[in-house]
Amino acid sequence: MALQDYTNDMFGCSRCSLCKWIPQNQVKSWRFAKGCPSMDRYHFHAYSGSGRMIMGMSMLDGRSELGDAVAEIIYKCQLCGACQVACMAVRDDIDLGDVLLEERARCVEEGFLLPEHMEFIESMKREDNTLGMRKADRGNWAKGLDIPDINLERVEVLFHAGCRYSYDEDLMETVRNAVALLKKGGVKAGIAGRDEACCGGRAYETGYQGEMKKYADDMAGRVKASGAAMLVTPCADCYYTFKYLYPKNGISLDVEVLHITELADRLIRAGTIKPKRAVPMKVTYHDPCHLGRRGEAYRGGWSGENKLDRPIRFKQSGEKGVFEPPRNIIRSIPGIEFVEMERIREWSYCCGAGGGVLEAFPEFAGWTARERMEEVASTGAEALVTACPWCVRVFQDTIRETGSSLKVIDVTELLMRSLGGK
Amino acid sequence: MISKEAVRELEHALGAEFVSCEPAVMDGYAYQPTHAEILGLETKWCPYRPVAVVLPHTTEEVQAVVRICNAHKLQFKALSTGWGIWNAPGSDNVVQIDLRRMDKLTIDTKNMIAVMEPYVSGAQIQAEGMKSGLNVHMVGCGCHASPLASATSLMGPGCSGITTGYSPRNVLGVEWVLPDGEILRLGVPGQGNDEWFYGDGPGPSLRGIMRGTLGACGGLGVFTKCALKLFPWPGPAQPKVEGVLMDAKVEIPGTHSSFLCFLPNLSRFADAFYKISNAEIGYFMGKHAITGALLAGCMPRAYKNLVKSETVRSILTALQNTFVIILCGRTQREYDYQHKVLKQIIADCEGFMLNIGHVPLLHSMLWWGFIRNSLPPAIFRAGGRFTTAFGGFETIDQAVFQSKIGAVIKQELIDSGDMMDDLADNSWGGLYEGSSCLAHQEELAIFDPREPKQNEGVNKYIDKAMEASTKYTITPGIGFGGGGAVPHMLGPLIYNYHHWLLQIKETLDPGNSADPSFFIAPEAEKEKYLRDYARRRPQVARLVEDILAADKKRSDVP
Amino acid sequence: MVGKKALAGIVGEENVVTDRNILDAFAVDKSYGEGTPPAFLVKPHSTEEVQAVINLAKSEGFPLIPVSSGAPRDHEDTVPACADSVIVDLSDMKKIVRLDRRNKVALIEPGVTFGELHAAAKAAGLRVLMPLLPRMNKSVLASCLEREPFTIPKYQWDTTDPLMCMELVFGSGDIYRTGSAAGPGSLEAQWETGAAQKNPLGPGQWDPLRLVQGAQGTMGIVTWGSVKLELLPREEKCFLAAAEKMDELIEFSYLIQKFKLVDVCFIMNAVDLASLRMDVVGKFPPWVLVYSISGYEYFPGERIDYIEHDIEEMAHATGVLPISGVAGVSAGDIVGAATLPCEGIYWKDRLRGDCRDIFFITTLDRVPRFLDAMAGEAKAHGFPEGSLGIYIQPIQQGRNCHLEFNLMYDGRNADEAGRVRALYETASVRCADMGAFFSRPYGAWAALAYRKDQPTVKALKMVKHMLDPKGIMNPGKLSLGTEV
């Protein structure tokens, strides 16, 4: 699909601007009513979901040209999907998120590339990861964990750490906790170690759609070779790639794909693991976009002409994302006081890191994180719990910059505290 | 074109990041498809693109922008939440002032007043108001729209009107940047005490030149702040709501319930409205074309099939004269009384009613959808767009008369295959100001702008609605909003009101710097506006020629 | 100077008054205004006659002062500021053109008084939204045009209420109709479609009604108007809430109005109550909130019953005790006395013979600070507490209130009258300094109201010039500096 294939979607826009807000049913205050970081930071209509569609039409109609300034607007968006959720509350015929992806693909096709994105694309090509790290070091995070290597033995569950967890030393404890959790749960999981590669999702999101294919094929091959019936990842970005981008592009992994929080929730509910140790803390939970609304499994496959006739079950409206499992985990931990923010679930506010923004526009990423942290502060929570390494990264960086006393904790880490350590 | 010097001055006044001349960015303001068909414009690109877009943060910055525009012979046009053709620039010389960065809100709980800047939405005010037992008037297009924009500059109907009035009549203090950049504050704020509780006087009320049935749609300057009345909310401070719209699940207080009231005909329908108005019951009340727009919005695909069945059609048609009323008792006593009265009224009018409270999920969706006013945009689900006509604000009987005429016109177009079949029943409207017996009904029509035939059909509908308004001497509602040419055409039928608008415009804005395209075409541009309009709506070509010929005759008189 | 002949040619000789006694009486009114006697008084009987008089005034350059109510007049607005003026007395235009029970609206001419409309409305089961005890001969439209507050705040959705539409002749000589009355179509054609001239907005994108209201006859002359009426209650129950200090009534008053539970609702001090009910022997408490609860067409008793209980709870929560009477007089009697046109001596003059009023708009929570200030000023001027009436009328459904100080005195006593005048002037300034909003800036109040608001002055001059380009309509009364 290319941008012009979404002409009807774009022309369907009534410019109602609902895409700038969280769904109206959920507005609970003046302060936290808005839903689009890009719009909130830059304000011109072009930065909204609607404005981006209008830009697309404008280019297709020859009214404006794709240039550096337009490309910058296109890329100053986390692809968080909040606009699509708000739009789809009242529309059945507009796939807004896909329009945004195709605009980026057009940027790449026409050579409007951001150097910061090219850097990680090069890194992917060279070292199979987005962080510019050596491929040889990819499995270092698992040293001493005594976890099976799928290159050496077949496993029931393939654990895919993802680029950020594999290399970000600040977050390594979290991924090691995740493995410990699997062990406690008796899950026979293995890893690919240094042979694990990027899922390719970040490349697709930044417009390098063709790049993802290679990684997807690689991933599918690895899954198959491992003999696993289940793929588990602690990375929300990878999860989204597996659940949405791969199937949308006709790539099947042929296994059940779970986020670590889904598996942990199952284990708790089955009684396999029991959080017993009290963790006396007031916490709130931040829904990562890629695990929440964008973690909703691909609902495409409808092949009609007029999307007005498309049955609702094919609408990627976001409400079937992963929302309850991480909350169930938090609620299962004794001593925790769990409070919700106003913008949660499919109307959650983004952390700021996604869509290539953290790499290309770190100031914007930090601005978005600060906005979210103000919402956290309004709940009185001392800690922000989340389930995505990119979210944790940008929040921690922002806390460091602002001197905030807020703690950011991955949900698996929190669970491990209650389970009594690794 | 805008000069580099003007851009430099704008950037100096606001900061470079808040000024854009990028074509793709400006196209975000040149695409205003909603209700472009009412003007006969194409429902995609507006005729003009702004020459720059600016984002002021304060009244002083708005003032600076206006002064720069005046100095450089540019026009300006402000928008708030910016939905609808009325926000579009009307010439190739317009700086679009996007007021998005002006979004402050304060509430005076005791005196039931909200003071707001332009980019505050109805939902935001409601959410804050409810915390103190207050609510705001929600305009028909939805709760994401700016109440300030509605109250100062556009129309203002909405189905909570029985409790919350009508936008233009809810205005208290106002801050207004005039076309020359001077700041005029109406009412109490003019005294310089930063108080906003009253908007008329001293002496004659300048609200009289601010707006009438319709606002000036940007043609008289920029409204940067206003105070609006708030109204009681006898419900929870923060309703517990799950879901985003159709999937809503809400805890509804035991003293609230919603009712679908079915009347045998429009005459009894009107009687019921009068009786409810006189009884001073009800919190929310409106006609929502239950068997038309509402059903199509809730189940668009099924609806298209349902209306093909003669049996279903006959059932739906029999249920057309329907309205929704929500009773919100502050106490059980109040609820019980209102419920008893409502039952008696419906019985006296030979109707029947369903208590939707007995259907919990439907009740959740409707109760919160109506109270929050989040449902209106769902009308897009069936076709992608809708148009509207009539909507004059008058007595209940006249509102009902308007919907009758509208349905007749639409049925003809449905029969000829020009319009989507909605059983010709798509009027929506409310009852206003409690016991005042004031009402409005607009006749909606759903269409898909991507289908050329439907575009044609909707244009025919607008043409016929305009004809009917004149033929039946119907108080104009939407009709007033047809753009700068319209007052010149309607004026002779309505005490030459256009002469006075022209005087207001020329006195407040001799340089014509505030984009007049949705207010009134100044004398110097009248011919161009009229000819443009006639080109888009050929049915008025003769009228336009008559007006221009009369003008010529007058000017030929020595 | 215009001659009688020209005027008689328009209205007929019998309708041109030249009696000096009648004319000289217009040079003064109950206020402090001092003017010039008019040259003539004319009594037009139709819109066309009004238009012709205006056109004559335009061409001949003489001032017109429209008057609709009978004497005694007040507030200076009908006292000619210029010589050679002509009073346009509309009191003979007194047709009730249409009284529409279904739409609860009356279309009336300017000479229709409260007494007359009240009687007609009552016969149709309706009631007029009246100010507190208007004079029997007070013109309904004149009262509406002056934005006088009325006693049932729940029915005031906007400041223009109860006036809906009107026909008038601007100072420019143009006949105009406002709101939905403007058309398209004649009144009869509009009635055919179910319309009843009930939408006060417009026509189009302006609201001329608002420009004429509050203008003291400086913009044009109204020839008819539609006023909204309300149902006459089938049943009514009245209550009082007494307090030592006004503050004690504020929260309760806000609550009962917020939910539109009460019909008649106002607060008075003992002095005003005594003036209202001179026949009462007992002593009224310092402050009394007066309110009524009504039942309409459906189950009236049950409506009253549930509201009474709801209000009881509110009263309990706010420390107020609703009572049915005080000082030997029932609440119903007080409401009855307060909601009818005033017969005989005007109620404010009953206690001392004369009364000067200071009134302005504020909000209920701001009232106590004005009470304190006024008490201080009264004391400083040696004005007795027992002659200071205070009337607080919530308006716009309780969002604001009309606060009125009634300085009652004996006008025959020059010393007392002098002190009252000094108090009136000083207290007006003091209140203005404290944020009192003189929305109806009669006489000297104009300077207070406009002193900080030059943009409004500039805009009003523009409006005045537009509607009355020759400046013939009641010149000087807008007090904008240069409009005379």
Q: What is the full per-residue pLDDT of chain B (558 aa) written as tens digits?
A: 899 999 999 999 999 999 999 999 999 999 999 999 888 888 789 999 999 999 999 999 999 999 999 999 999 999 999 999 999 999 999 999 999 999 999 999 999 999 999 999 999 999 999 999 999 999 999 999 999 999 999 999 999 999 999 999 999 999 999 999 999 999 999 999 999 999 999 999 999 999 999 999 999 999 999 999 999 999 999 999 999 999 999 999 999 999 999 999 999 999 999 999 999 999 999 998 877 777 888 888 888 888 889 998 888 888 899 999 999 999 999 999 999 999 999 999 999 999 999 999 999 999 999 999 999 999 999 899 999 999 999 999 999 999 999 999 999 999 999 998 888 877 899 999 999 999 999 999 999 999 989 999 999 999 999 889 888 888 888 888 999 999 999 999 999 999 999 999 999 999 999 999 999 999 999 999 999 999 999 989 999 999 999 988 887 776
Hey, which residues 309-368 in chain B have their CB within 8 Å of chain C?
330-331, 333-334, 336-337, 340-341, 344-345
Paired sense of beta strands C96-100 and A256-259, if any? unpaired
Which residues on chain B are in Cβ contact (under 8 Å) with A44?
20, 25, 28, 53, 55, 98
User: CATH number, domain at B465?
Assistant: 3.40.462.10
Hey, which residues 404-463 in chain B have their CB within 8 Å of chain A?
448-450
Q: Of A86, A113, A140, which residue is a domain's last?
A: A113
Q: Are residues A137 and A38 in the same domain?
A: no
Q: Are residues B549 and B422 in the same domain?
A: no
State the DSSP code for C52. Answer: H
Q: Does A contact B via 3+ CB–CB distances below 8 Å?
A: yes
Q: How far apart are CA C140 and CA C169, in angstroms?
A: 18
Instruction: Evaluate whether residue A142 is within a structural domain.
Output: yes
- Please check whether residue B466 touches C, CB under 8 A: no
**pLDDT digit string (tens) for C363-379?**
999 999 999 999 999 99
Total domains in chain A come to: 2
Q: Are residues A139 and A18 in the same domain?
A: no
Q: Which alpha helices (DSSP H) does A229-356 contain, by range?
A: 236-240, 246-248, 260-269, 324-332
CA distance B323 to chain C (A): 20
Q: Are residues B357 and B455 in the same domain?
A: yes
Q: Are residues B97 and B109 in the same domain?
A: no
Which residues on chain A are in Cβ contact (under 8 Å) with B81?
17
- Please check whether residue B109 touches C, CB under 8 A: no
Instruction: Evaluate whether residue A185 is within a structural domain.
Output: yes
Instruction: Evaluate whether residue B239 is within a structural domain.
Output: no
Instruction: Evaluate whether residue A368 is within a structural domain.
Output: no
- Please check whether residue C75 touches B, CB under 8 A: no
User: CATH number, domain at B162?
Assistant: 3.30.465.10
Are B122 and B167 in contact, with CB atoms under 8 Å apart?
A: no
- Please check whether residue C344 touches B, CB under 8 A: no
How many angstroms from the chain centroid is the CA of residue B401?
A: 20
Give me the amino acid identity at B149: A
Q: Are residues B217 and B337 in the same domain?
A: no
Q: Are residues B311 and B460 in the same domain?
A: yes
Q: How far apart are CA B285 and CA B263, in angstroms?
A: 15
Q: Are residues A133 and A261 in the same domain?
A: yes
- Please check whether residue B493 touches C, CB under 8 A: yes
Instruction: Evaluate whether residue A317 is within a structural domain.
Output: no
State the DSSP code for C139. Answer: B
- Asked if B229 and C398 come within 8 Å (Cβ–Cβ), the reply is no
- Asked if B392 and C199 come within 8 Å (Cβ–Cβ), the reply is yes
Hey, which residues 7-46 in chain B have their CB within 8 Å of chain C?
none
**pLDDT digit string (tens) for C258-274?**
999 999 999 999 999 99
Q: Of A218, A249, A269, which residue is a domain's last?
A: A269
Q: Are residues A172 and A255 in the same domain?
A: yes
Q: Of B199, B232, B265, which residue is a domain's last?
A: B232
Instruction: Evaluate whether residue B238 is within a structural domain.
Output: no
Q: Are residues A107 and A156 in the same domain?
A: no
- Asked if A54 and B27 come within 8 Å (Cβ–Cβ), the reply is yes
Which residues on chain B are in Cβ contact (under 8 Å) with C206?
208-209, 211-212, 497, 500-501, 504
CA distance B393 to chain C (A): 6
Q: Of B434, B449, B479, which residue is a domain's last?
A: B479
Instruction: Evaluate whether residue B364 is within a structural domain.
Output: yes
Total domains in chain B come to: 4
Cis-peptide into A280, omega within 30 deg = no
Which of A17, A29, A309 is closest, CB to CB, to B81? A17
Q: Are residues B356 and B408 in the same domain?
A: yes
Which residues on chain A are in Cβ contact (under 8 Å) with B141?
16
Instruction: Evaluate whether residue A181 is within a structural domain.
Output: yes
B-C contacts at Cβ under 8 angstroms? 321
Helix H or strand E encompassing C353: none
How many angstroms from the chain centroid is the CA of residue A20?
A: 20
Nearest to A413 by CA among A391, A393, A386: A386
Which residues on chain A are in Cβ contact (under 8 Å) with B243?
25, 319
Q: Nearest residue on chain B to C458, judged by CA atoms?
A: B184
Which residues on chain B are in Cβ contact (under 8 Å) with C259?
232, 234, 330
Maximum pairwise Cα distance, chain C: 70
**pLDDT digit string (tens) for B287-339?**
988 777 778 888 888 888 888 899 988 888 888 999 999 999 999 999 999 99
**pLDDT digit string (tens) for B411-431?**
999 999 999 888 887 789 999
pLDDT (0 to 100) of residue C2? 80
pLDDT (0 to 100) of residue C483? 45
Are C50 and C169 in contact, with CB atoms under 8 Å apart?
A: yes
Are A323 and A48 in contact, with CB atoms under 8 Å apart?
A: no
A-B contacts at Cβ under 8 angstroms? 176
Which of B184, B200, B212 is closest, CB to CB, to C159? B200
Q: How far apart are CA B121 and CA B143, in angstroms?
A: 6
Q: Are residues B475 and B488 in the same domain?
A: no
- Asked if B112 and C437 come within 8 Å (Cβ–Cβ), the reply is no
Chain C: partners with 3+ C-beta pairs within 8 Å: B
What range defines the domain where residue A132 resides? 125-269
- Asked if B127 and A347 come within 8 Å (Cβ–Cβ), the reply is no
Per-residue pLDDT averaged across C279-304, rounded?
93
Write the CA distances from B155 to A218, B146, B391, B395, B478, integer angstroms.
Answer: 59, 12, 10, 17, 8
Q: Are residues B441 and B359 in the same domain?
A: yes
Structural domains of chain C, ranges and CATH numbers in brackets: 4-89 (3.30.43.10), 96-231 (3.30.465.10), 235-338 (3.30.70.2190), 347-433 (3.30.1360)
Which of C154, C310, C455 is closest, CB to CB, to B183? C455
pLDDT (0 to 100) of residue C484? 37
Q: How far apart are CA C419 and CA A119, in angstroms?
A: 88
Helix H or strand E encompassing B24: helix B23-27
Are B174 and B189 in contact, with CB atoms under 8 Å apart?
A: yes
Buried b (16+ CB within 10 A) or exposed e, B441-450: bbbbbbbbbb
- Say if residue C482's pLDDT is above 60: no
Is A143 exposed, middle or buried, given 0-12, 13-18 or 19+ CB atoms closer than 10 A? exposed
CA distance B479 to chain C (A): 9
CA distance B466 to chain C (A): 12
Q: Are residues A129 and A265 in the same domain?
A: yes
Q: Nearest residue on chain A to B83, judged by CA atoms?
A: A16
Instruction: Evaluate whether residue B325 is within a structural domain.
Output: yes
- Asked if C205 and B487 come within 8 Å (Cβ–Cβ), the reply is yes
Q: How big is chain A, counted in residues?
A: 422
Give me the amino acid identity at A300: G
Q: Does A contact C via 3+ CB–CB distances below 8 Å?
A: no
Q: Are residues A141 and A178 in the same domain?
A: yes
Paired sense of beta strands B427-432 and B284-288, if any? antiparallel
Instruction: Evaluate whether residue A260 is within a structural domain.
Output: yes
**pLDDT digit string (tens) for C157-188?**
999 999 999 999 999 999 999 999 999 999 99
Q: How far apart are CA A72 and CA A75, in angstroms?
A: 5
Are C264 and C309 in contact, with CB atoms under 8 Å apart?
A: no
Instruction: Evaluate whether residue A78 is within a structural domain.
Output: yes
Q: Are residues A92 and A163 in the same domain?
A: no
Q: Are residues B172 and B274 in the same domain?
A: no
For residues C14, C19, C25 and C26, what is the CA-based torsion angle, rounded to 10 degrees?
50
Backbone angles phi, psi at C10, to 5 degrees: -95, -50
Q: Nearest residue on chain A to B128, judged by CA atoms?
A: A29
Paired sense of beta strands B94-98 and B75-79, if any? parallel
**pLDDT digit string (tens) for B118-165?**
999 999 999 999 999 999 999 999 999 999 999 999 999 999 999 999
What range defines the domain where residue B345 resides? 244-479
Which residues on chain B are in Cβ contact (under 8 Å) with C152?
none
User: CATH number, domain at A249?
Assistant: 3.40.50
Q: How big is chain B, counted in residues?
A: 558
Which residues on chain B are in Cβ contact (under 8 Å) with A29?
124, 127-128
Q: Of B441, B462, B479, which residue is a domain's last?
A: B479
DSSP string for C436-464: -B-SS--TTHHHHHHTT-HHHHHHHHHHH
Q: Of A62, A79, A113, which residue is a domain's last?
A: A113
Q: Are residues B9 and B44 in the same domain?
A: yes
- Asked if B504 and C466 come within 8 Å (Cβ–Cβ), the reply is yes
Q: Are residues B297 and B418 in the same domain?
A: yes
CA distance B33 to chain A (A): 6
Q: Are residues A171 and A104 in the same domain?
A: no
Place of tokens 């429209």: C66
What are residue C219's DSSP bridge partners? Answer: none
- Asked if B450 and A12 come within 8 Å (Cβ–Cβ), the reply is yes
Instruction: Evaluate whether residue B159 is within a structural domain.
Output: yes
Phi-psi region of C216 (alpha: psi -120 to 50; beta: other; left: phi over 0): left
Q: How far apart are CA C133 and CA C339, in angstroms?
A: 6
Q: How far apart are CA C185 and CA B32, in angstroms?
A: 34
CA distance B377 to chain A (A): 6
User: CATH number, domain at B80?
Assistant: 3.30.43.10
Instruction: Evaluate whether residue B405 is within a structural domain.
Output: yes
Which of B185, B344, B434 is closest, CB to CB, to C455? B185
B430 three-state secondary structure? strand
Q: Tens-digit pLDDT profile for chain A (422 aa)?
A: 899 999 999 999 999 999 999 999 999 999 999 999 999 999 999 999 999 999 999 999 999 999 999 999 999 999 999 999 999 999 999 999 999 999 999 999 999 999 999 999 999 999 999 999 999 999 999 999 999 999 999 999 999 999 999 999 999 999 999 999 999 999 999 999 999 999 999 999 999 999 999 999 999 999 999 999 999 999 999 999 999 999 999 999 999 999 999 999 999 999 999 999 999 999 999 999 999 999 999 998 899 999 999 999 999 999 999 999 999 999 999 999 999 999 999 999 999 999 999 999 999 999 999 999 999 999 999 999 999 999 999 999 999 999 999 999 999 999 999 998 64
- Please check whether residue B378 touches A, CB under 8 A: yes
Return the higher-pLDDT residue of B292 and C348: C348
Q: Are residues A259 and A159 in the same domain?
A: yes
Paired sense of beta strands B94-98 and B52-54, if any? parallel
Instruction: Evaluate whether residue A167 is within a structural domain.
Output: yes
Q: Are residues B111 and B193 in the same domain?
A: yes
Instruction: Evaluate whether residue B494 is within a structural domain.
Output: yes
Q: Are residues A9 and A107 in the same domain?
A: yes
Q: Are residues A262 and A144 in the same domain?
A: yes
